[in-house]
Structures are given as structure tokens and as C-alpha cells.
């Protein structure tokens, strides 16, 4: 027997949990083999592998590793990331967060952090209103991200301006050392597509782990892992536009088998990602389990009163109006295809608060 570990799972800054183990067991095919690919050996001498299974009827190859890694709620924060956030919150810093491994000692050796601008959250639409969105990221019907279509031109201008500036020699002055980057800070990061994006850092892995920066693309909702040399200071002029990503969930449905199966998440992604929709805003959920990206944020009723936070989710009905003769409701389609069932109340077990009409907001 050969001892193996899953490659890229859990995501950087997180650790394995019982919930993740249970999910891994559910993802194993009931019939047929699991395909395994050896991708190398980690620093501990363990063989790293990628697991795949075949999905019928198209015989698609599904990555079990990616399916697990996309569902960040399966994992707990690693002890290093937790201590980083905990120690940071007790320090005096312009961004309220400094990694524990970078705490100041004697003044002469204190690392110099760089002030980062604060990005304002986007406005939330009113409950029971219609809201035009663009879906930027889709993990499953309980976890996806949207942008308001009305802000598209402003975001595109921002992206062009950032690309022009950070690709120029002028931006060399904004290069940062690892010790200058703080958890909770907003920065510009160069992605693998060679474009610059606004990001918020959620954890920093020190020298012994390759100087990796983990966080979220604040305008798109998905996560990133990057080396520190691809992160630069975010200029104040690039922080004027509020961040554009809003977390969302499909209202009124839940998975058939408690958790969304890979074939269901793939289908949902094909239906909604990188597409525009008219939506009906059924409510706003407050989710206290989502706080790793903003450790000091405490859930409160005011956080769902008009501004998005990391803890809020819009509960939406996505309506595909691309066909002239009919409108397609994504929730109804998922039910019709046997991938979801109708649910009463909240959109998930972790929704602590559900606002369903304007009168309940006060």
C-alpha cells in the first residue's frame, strides 16, 4: 500500500475536517473505479494525487479534488491561519490585521507595513425587487457570486486603468515585500491570465510555505493563491469603486441528497456561470459561518440593511430571458431535472437570519 494525500486539498490556509471526510466519501462513485493521477511528492515525502471519476451519460471526467476545494465551507482554518488572524486583530495597524509571524519586536527590527485603502461594499437591492446580474462564479446553487449589471462600464474602466498602470514601469514603486502585506488588506494581484485584479488577503503562508498569499478577487467572488511577488499596493484611485462581488444562493431549493453532487454542480455551472440573468430578490441571509475572509466582522442585523458584507447572501431566483418565447427559472429547471427539491424557509442550514420583506429590516 502507498500512503497518499490529495493534491491542493484542503485549500491553502485551511485544514481537513470531519465534514470534508464525509463529503469525500459521498463523492466516491457507487460503481466503477476511481482514476488516480500521481502529481509528485510533497515536502513531507507523501505522494500527492488527483482523483477523478467518470460522470455518465457523457462519460465526463470529474475532478474530486476540485469539487472538494471549491466548497470552502467544508474546511476549518488552519492553526497557522487562525493564529495569524487572532494575533493580528490585537495589534495596532492601519488595516487592523498583521500576520502573527510579522509582529513588531524591537523598533529597529520592526517590519514596515504599507497602508492599504478600504473598499466600500456594494449596495444590496431591496427584497422583493427585480435585480439584473452577471454571474461571475458558481460553485453550486448555495454558493455563487454575482455583479450588478448596472456597474459594468465602471468596472471595465477600472480594469483597463489598472492594467495600464500596473503593466507600466511606474508601478515598480508599488512592489511589496511579504512583510508589508497584511491580512485584511486590499491589493492589486496579477492573475494567471496576466490581468491585474483587486483582491483582499485572507491569509499569508510564511517563508517555509513559499510566501503564498491567499484571498479573494473582490470583484468576482472566487478565491486565489499567489506568490507574494505578484501582489502590489492598491492605489487609492483604484479603490473608489465599491467592490462588486455579492455572494448569492438560489432561493427555494435544496439538494436531493443533502449535499450537491458533482454532476449537479457541473450542470449548475454550465447553466449560470458567465451569463446575465434577471433575478427576483427573495431575501437576504446572514451567514455567521463565513468569516474567514474578514475575521473581525461580527454578524448583525444592520449588515443586511442595504450594504453587502462577507457574511451576507442574496437569495435569488435566476431567470433566463435569453429565449424570446419563454423565461426559464433556474430553480424550476434544477427541480425538473431531478437535481434539487423544493425547500421551505432558508436556503441552507447555515443561514442564521432570513429577511423576506422590507418591513422586517428595521
pLDDT bracket for residue 302 (50, 70, 90): very low
pLDDT bracket for residue 276 (50, 70, 90): very high
**Whether residue 33 is found in the same domain as residue 144:** no
Count of CA atoms in the C-beta half-sphere (13 A) of 286? 18
Percent of the chain scored above 70 by pLDDT? 71
State the cell numbers at 268: 449548475
**Whether residue 145 is found in the same domain as residue 278:** yes
**Whether residue 260 is found in the same domain as residue 338:** yes
End-of-domain residue from the set 61, 77, 93: 77
**Whether residue 72 is found in the same domain as residue 135:** no
Q: Is residue 66 part of a domain?
A: yes
Residues in a beta bridge with 103: none
Residue pLDDT, tens place only, 150-184: 999 999 999 999 999 999 999 999 999 888 999 88
**Whether residue 346 is found in the same domain as residue 278:** yes
Q: E-strand spans in the chain?
A: 4-6, 14-15, 35-41, 47-55, 60-63, 76-77, 130-140, 143-148, 186-190, 196-205, 212-217, 223-227, 231-233, 246-250, 253-255, 276-286, 312-320, 328-329, 340-342, 353-355
pLDDT bracket for residue 246 (50, 70, 90): very high
**Whether residue 65 is found in the same domain as residue 138:** no
Q: Is residue 185 part of a domain?
A: no
Report whether 303 contacts 288 (CB < 8 A).
no
pLDDT at 300: 33
Q: Is the pLDDT of residue 343 over 90?
A: no
pLDDT at 27: 78
Farthest CA pair distance, the chain: 71
pLDDT at 285: 83
**Whether residue 258 is found in the same domain as residue 332:** yes
End-of-domain residue from the set 49, 77, 105: 77
The overall average pLDDT reported for the chain is 77
**Whether residue 258 is found in the same domain as residue 340:** yes
**Whether residue 12 is found in the same domain as residue 145:** no
Residue 241 is classified by DSSP as: S
In terms of Cβ atoms closer than 10 Å to its own Cβ (0-12, 13-18, 19+), residue 230 is: middle
Residue entry with cell 492598491: 234
Residue entry with cell 466519501: 25
pLDDT at 362: 35
With CA atoms as reference, report the closest residue to 170 among 152, 188, 185.
Answer: 188
Q: Is residue 32 part of a domain?
A: yes
Residue pLDDT, tens place only, 102-137: 333 333 443 456 678 989 999 999 999 999 999 999
With 0.85 as the threshold, say if the pTM is over it. no
Q: Is residue 221 part of a domain?
A: no
Around Cβ 227, how many Cβ atoms within 10 Å? 13
pLDDT at 311: 67
pLDDT at 239: 96
How many domains in the chain? 2
Domain assignment of residue 261, given as a range: 130-152+244-360
Q: Is residue 334 part of a domain?
A: yes
Residues in a beta bridge with 60: 55
pLDDT bracket for residue 224 (50, 70, 90): confident
Residue 122 is classified by DSSP as: P
**Whether residue 134 is found in the same domain as residue 254:** yes
β-pairing, 196-205 with 76-77? unpaired
**Whether residue 261 is found in the same domain as residue 140:** yes
End-of-domain residue from the set 33, 53, 77: 77
Q: Is residue 157 part of a domain?
A: no
Q: Is residue 161 part of a domain?
A: no
Q: What is the domain-level CATH number for residue 295?
A: 2.40.50.90
- 10 preceded by a cis bond (ω within 30 of 0): yes
**Of 265-269, 283-287, 343-347, which gets the smallest average pLDDT?**
343-347
pLDDT at 207: 53
**Whether residue 65 is found in the same domain as residue 146:** no
Q: Is residue 120 part of a domain?
A: no
Around Cβ 94, how many Cβ atoms within 10 Å? 14
For the chain, counts of helices (H) and of strands (E): 6, 20
**Of 27-31, 267-271, 295-299, which gets the smallest average pLDDT?**
295-299
107: phi then psi, degrees, rounded to nearest 5? -60, -35
Amino acid at each position: 500500500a502507498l500512503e497518499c494525500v490529495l493534491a491542493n486539498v484542503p485549500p491553502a490556509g485551511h485544514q481537513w475536517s470531519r465534514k470534508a471526510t464525509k463529503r469525500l466519501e459521498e463523492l466516491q462513485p457507487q460503481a466503477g473505479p476511481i482514476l488516480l493521477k500521481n502529481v509528485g511528492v510533497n515536502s513531507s515525502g507523501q505522494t500527492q494525487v488527483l482523483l477523478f471519476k467518470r460522470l455518465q451519460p457523457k462519460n465526463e471526467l470529474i475532478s474530486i479534488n476540485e469539487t472538494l476545494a471549491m466548497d470552502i465551507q467544508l474546511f476549518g482554518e488552519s492553526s497557522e491561519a487562525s493564529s495569524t488572524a487572532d494575533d493580528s486583530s490585537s495589534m495596532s495597524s492601519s488595516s487592523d490585521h498583521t500576520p502573527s509571524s510579522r509582529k513588531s519586536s524591537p523598533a529597529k527590527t520592526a517590519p514596515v507595513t504599507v497602508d492599504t485603502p478600504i473598499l466600500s461594499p456594494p449596495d444590496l437591492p431591496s427584497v422583493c425587487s427585480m435585480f439584473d446580474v452577471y454571474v461571475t462564479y458558481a460553485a453550486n446553487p448555495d454558493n455563487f457570486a454575482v455583479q450588478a449589471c448596472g456597474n459594468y462600464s465602471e468596472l471595465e474602466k477600472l480594469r483597463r486603468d489598472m492594467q495600464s498602470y500596473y503593466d507600466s514601469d511606474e508601478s515598480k514603486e508599488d512592489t511589496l515585500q511579504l512583510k508589508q502585506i497584511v491580512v485584511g488588506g486590499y491589493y492589486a494581484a496579477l492573475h494567471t491570465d496576466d490581468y491585474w485584479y483587486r483582491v483582499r488577503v485572507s491569509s499569508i503562508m510564511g517563508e517555509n510555505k513559499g510566501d503564498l498569499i491567499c484571498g479573494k478577487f473582490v470583484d468576482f467572488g472566487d478565491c486565489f493563491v499567489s506568490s507574494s511577488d505578484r501582489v502590489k499596493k492598491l492605489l487609492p484611485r483604484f479603490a473608489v469603486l465599491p467592490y462588486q462581488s455579492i455572494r448569492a444562493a438560489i432561493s427555494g431549493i435544496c439538494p436531493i441528497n443533502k449535499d450537491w453532487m458533482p454532476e449537479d454542480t457541473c450542470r449548475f455551472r454550465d447553466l449560470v456561470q458567465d451569463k446575465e440573468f434577471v433575478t427576483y430578490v427573495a431575501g437576504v441571509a446572514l451567514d455567521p459561518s463565513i468569516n474567514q475572509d474578514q475575521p473581525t466582522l461580527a454578524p448583525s442585523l444592520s449588515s443586511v440593511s442595504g450594504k453587502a458584507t462577507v457574511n451576507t447572501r442574496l437569495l435569488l431566483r435566476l431567470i433566463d430571458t435569453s429565449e424570446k418565447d419563454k423565461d426559464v427559472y433556474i430553480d424550476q429547471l434544477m427541480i425538473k431535472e431531478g437535481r434539487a427539491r423544493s425547500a421551505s424557509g432558508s436556503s441552507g442550514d447555515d443561514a442564521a437570519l432570513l429577511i423576506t420583506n422590507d418591513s422586517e429590516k428595521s
